[in-house]
């Protein structure tokens, strides 16, 4: 999967394949048929129009009004698995800032629209890349409406360094998104305390998207947790310590802990150098709403002052 060239990546398919690792009973053909039916509906409603604005409006009407897809207000931080993977939103019609743009992008890609992902801190939105379309950003969580880059920067407090380095607000390739989807599985395994497996996924994801600063941070956290576990076990083991496959001396074990710690520190430093945003606090979305309201008030006042 990770070796697929850009033109061969079907976002919906690869996402469902990745989800099947987490949901072993996932019926991939059923979801594929559901997506195909949605694509056929949108194509019929669009009537073959090449106008990007018309295409976006039809998709928005179909998804949010006709089909009732909506943001899951009861899980705003996407802690539930159904809000982390594409099959969840297809089952429930409610989603997150991960799954709602994923669904939108999956359909747009199959329709042949030039829609691509764009990263913001702990968030994903979309961009319809067409020189004839002035308002290209698509906020899938907000009914498919438009928000400017400046608005995202201010409301989400995006670091200037992150924008400069292409971590945030840059149009991504499908290959970069595939890297992020692979890393999402890594996040799942990290939460299951399967850290070696998580690290494998994070590294693979970063190979496809080396600008994923937030993944570097998660990789660093995984390595640091391994280092912590190694240090904690040091005093409780009988030395030399023997496993079915290897014998460890205490010196080797301590050196391993230092190696993990250094790998974690290196990954964290890379994340900072790229301009990673701060981790989302518990009141993250409340704070964003407050900033958005303050911005709207300020812009309204500025508009009144204009001649």
- The model's pLDDT over 109-168, given as tens digits with 9 standing for 90+, comes to 999 999 999 999 999 999 999 999 999 999 999 999 999 999 999 999 999 999 999 999
Q: How far apart are CA 69 and CA 54, in angstroms?
A: 19
183 CB-side CA count, 13 A: 25
49 CB-side CA count, 13 A: 14
User: In the chain, what percentage of residues exceed pLDDT 70?
Assistant: 98
Are 198 and 153 part of one and the same domain? no
Domain count, the chain: 2
CATH of the domain at 111: 3.10.620
Are 66 and 108 part of one and the same domain? yes
Three-state DSSP state, 241:
strand
Residue 240, domain extent: 192-274
Average pLDDT over residues 13-40: 97
Q: What confidence score (pLDDT) does residue 285 get? A: 67
Average pLDDT over residues 225-249: 83
- The model's pLDDT over 72-94, given as tens digits with 9 standing for 90+, comes to 989 888 889 999 999 999 999 99
Mean pLDDT over the full length of the chain: 93
Please, are residues 125 and 168 in contact by the beta-carbon 8 Å criterion? no
Please indicate, yes or no, if residue 144 is contained in any of the structural domains: yes
How sure is the predictor about 59, in pLDDT bands with cuts at 50, 70 and 90? very high
Please indicate, yes or no, if residue 18 is contained in any of the structural domains: yes
Please indicate, yes or no, if residue 181 is contained in any of the structural domains: no
């Amino acid at each position: 999967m990770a070796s697929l060239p850009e033109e061969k990546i079907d976002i919906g398919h690869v996402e469902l394949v990745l989800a099947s690792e987490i949901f072993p009973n996932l019926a991939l053909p059923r979801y594929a048929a559901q997506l195909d039916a949605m694509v056929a509906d949108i194509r019929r409603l669009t009537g073959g129009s090449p106008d990007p604005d018309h295409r976006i409006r039809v998709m928005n009407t179909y998804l949010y009004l006709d089909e009732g897809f909506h943001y899951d207000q009861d899980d705003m931080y996407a802690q539930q698995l159904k809000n982390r993977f594409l099959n969840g939103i297809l089952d429930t019609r409610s989603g997150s800032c991960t799954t709602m743009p994923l669904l939108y992008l999956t359909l747009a890609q199959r329709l042949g629209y030039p829609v691509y992902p764009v990263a913001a801190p702990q968030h994903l939105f979309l961009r319809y890349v067409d020189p004839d379309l002035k308002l290209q950003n698509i906020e899938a969580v907000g009914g498919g409406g438009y928000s400017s880059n400046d608005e995202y920067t201010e409301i989400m407090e995006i670091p200037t360094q992150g924008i400069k380095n292409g971590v945030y607000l840059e149009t991504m390739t499908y290959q970069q998104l595939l890297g992020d989807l692979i890393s999402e599985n890594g996040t799942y395994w990290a939460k299951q305390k399967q850290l070696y497996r998580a690290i494998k996924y994070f590294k693979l994801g970063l190979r496809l998207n080396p600008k994923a600063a937030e993944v570097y941070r998660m990789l660093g956290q995984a390595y640091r947790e391994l280092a912590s576990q190694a240090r904690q076990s040091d005093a409780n083991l009988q030395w030399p310590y023997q496993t079915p496959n290897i014998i460890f001396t205490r010196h080797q074990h301590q050196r391993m802990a230092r190696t993990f710690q250094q790998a974690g520190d290196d990954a964290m430093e890379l994340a900072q150098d790229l301009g990673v945003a701060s981790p989302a606090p518990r009141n993250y979305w409340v704070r964003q709403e407050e900033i958005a309201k303050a911005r709207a008030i300020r812009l309204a006042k500025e508009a009144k002052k204009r001649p």
